[in-house]
Every structure is written in C-alpha cells, then in structure tokens.
Amino acid sequence: MTKITDHIKAANGKPIFSIEVIPPIKGDTLKNLLDNIEPLMEFKPPFVDVTYHREEYIERPLPDGTIQKIVTRKRPGTVGICSAIMHRFGVDPVPHVLCGGFSREETEDFLIDLHYLGIDNALVLRGDPAKPFTTFKAKENGYSYASELVEQVANMNRGVYLHEEDTALAPSNFCIGVAAYPEKHFEAENHDIDFEYLKQKVDKGADYIVTQMFFDNRKYFDFVERCRQHGIDIPIIPGLKPLSTRRQLQILPRLFHLHMPEELVAAVEACENDQQARQVGIEWGIQQSRELMAAGAPVLHYYTMGKADNVMQIARAVF
Ligand code: FAD
C-alpha cells in the first residue's frame, strides 16, 4: 500500500480529501460504518484513519465489601475495520496505535499484524488516560510518551525488533504519523515545551503530523509557521470537525482544549435548533476548508465522528 507522504507527493500540491472514522460500539455492525462513509468515496480519499479506543475500567462492589476492578472495551476492532476498509474501498487505512494499555511486546505484535496485512501507515499516539482516571499511566513495560513508540516503529523499519535474539527479521515499512495541537496539548506547560516534544517525535522518525481539530484557521497557520521555525519540515495535515450541535459550543472546548471564534459562537447561539446549528457548522467548515486549501494545506482531514452527511456537504462544496 502507499505511504501517506507518497500520496501527498503524488498529489503535486493539489489538496487531498481524507477522513477519520471511529469503530462502532461493541455489538453494533460494521455495515453502518461502511455504508455511512461509502458516499464520501466520491471524493477519492486515498486514506482513511481508524481510531483506537483503549480499555476503560468499571468498579463492581463485591459481597465482602471489596471492589472488583473490571476492564471493559467499548470500541474494539480497529485492525479488522482497517482491513475491511482496505478491501471494500481500495483505500489505505491508517490505524491509530496507542501507548496506553499496551506493553512494548504487545505493541510489537500489533505492528506485526498490521505489517502482515500490508498496512504501511500508522498514526502513533500516547492516548488519553484510561477512564475513569484523569492522569495517563503507562502499562508495565509500556510507554509514557508517543515519541518512545515512534522510536519503536522506526526501529522496526530498520529491522530492529525488541529482543536481540530476533535477528535477521525483515524490516517493516511504516509511514509514521503523529498528533499535534495548534492550541497546545492541555498538559504542556507552554507552547515552547510542547514544540520541543513534538520535535522529539519528528527527530525519532515521524513522517507527517495531523493536528487536533481547530475552528480558527489562524491557529493552524501560526502553528505551521512556528513548526517551520523549530526546524519541523514534514507535512502538517489540518484536522477538521464540522460543528454539529449547539451543545458542542461548550463540549468541544472542554474536551479538546480549543478556542471557538466569536463569530462562530454568535452564529450558533442565534440558532433555534440543532438542525440550524448543523447548517452553521457546515458553512463554517466550507469557509475553513476553502481558506486552508488556498493557503496550501496538503490534506484536509475530516473527523466524521460517526456521521458523514455534513462532511459530504463540505466536500461537495470544496473538492
Ligand atoms: P505525546 O506526544 O506523548 O504528548 C503528551 C503530552 O506529554 C504533551 O503535553 C507533551 O507536551 C508531553 N510530552 C511529550 N513527550 C514528553 C517527554 N518526553 N517528557 C515530558 N512530557 C512530554 N486518542 C485515542 O485514545 N485514540 C485515538 O485514536 C486518538 N486519535 C487522535 C488523533 C489525532 C489527530 C489527535 C490530535 C489526537 C488523537 N487522540 C487519540 C488523542 C491523544 O491520544 C491525546 O491527545 C493524548 O493526550 C496525547 O497524545 P500524543 O500522542 O499527542 O502524546
């Protein structure tokens, strides 16, 4: 399959359309997800990201008064979905690979599965804390930061696996994506520290960057400029989510630590219902997309979050 960076090169400056999908809740069928994104294939996304959702914990009180901690998984199936997308649509799937919940050996096995399936792209992330916890904790013999996982994947690309006795193994061929935050990762003390750690991911082998969603293009433009000043010269793909309900005015800034432009806030506050708010979100998404395209963004990457009709309308207007 083709690397994301090669897709970008082949596009020769023409912006690429791509999407991110979320695995369905355990027990749902894959059919809905695939049917939902099928109309978007009209815009020829060369790749589709599939998120990974780590384990969560529930606590169950036992008759003896103690608490049993039970691991649950709500959205398993990332690798299976990648394979289904690859075969049904003939596009390159990009599985998200997390530090959280994995030991480095489990990560190696996961990456080997991807390699056997012919999946040559991976978005490498730390992951959020396991719910209900609020701070990230690495699994025993796992990683605390995405840069460490980038290093492991880059080593595999050189044929260096975890254990010395695994000699003469064929190298993998992963194109490595990493996440970045135009409005700063919420845990970072300041932008400079965040840039230092982003640079670390790039120095250890990241090939491209995908940003957190933003609603103010200025944040992306400033971020790209500062990356270039810090010597980060790999492609920076803007992540875009069309706002789709009135409540998202509060929820998105809280969850993703981002700023909502006043003009967008005013337009959504003037809506009488969510249908109107969804329309405002689409129009905002069209404006954002046009401006990003004109400024030379290599890819416009839309977070579908399970619903694709609004992304469809934006894509129709701009691609
Ligand atoms: P890191 O790059 O490890 O950074 C995390 C924090 O640690 C930052 O504050 C950074 O400044 C700091 N830091 C980095 N290195 C060091 C160091 N050496 N020492 C001290 N501090 C350091 N989450 C999921 O669970 N599943 C997904 O599929 C998923 N997909 C995503 C896709 C995109 C495009 C984005 C932007 C985010 C996604 N996330 C996903 C969320 C992501 O996992 C969280 O934002 C997480 O909190 C940080 O991940 P990271 O890879 O950016 O971490």
Residue 110: its pLDDT value, please?
96
What distances in angstroms separate CA 270 from CA 184, 246, 266, one per listed residue?
29, 10, 6
Query: What ligand 1 atom has the least distance to the C-alpha of 96?
Result: 28
Global pTM?
Answer: 0.96
**Residues of the chain with confidence (pLDDT) below 50:** none
Residue 164: its pLDDT value, please?
74
Helix, strand counts (H, E) of the chain? 11, 10
> For tokens 């039970």, what's the residue?
70
Centroid of ligand 1 to alpha carbon of 145 (angstroms) = 7
Q: Is the beta carbon of 298 within 6 A of some atom in ligand 1?
A: no
Output DSSP code: residue 233: -
> For tokens 């060369």, what's the residue?
46
Q: Is the beta carbon of 179 within 6 A of some atom in ligand 1?
A: yes
Dihedral angle over CA of 187, 188, 191, 193, nearest 10: -160
Q: Select from 50, 123, 125, 256 the residue to mutate for testing ligand 1; criterion: most ligand atoms less than 8 Å from CB.
A: 125
The Cα angle at residue 283 between residues 290 and 296, in degrees rounded to 5: 15
Fold type of domain 4-318 = TIM Barrel (3.20.20)
Q: Select from 54, 82, 99, 126 the residue to mutate for testing ligand 1; criterion: most ligand atoms less than 8 Å from CB.
A: 126
Residue type, 200: Q
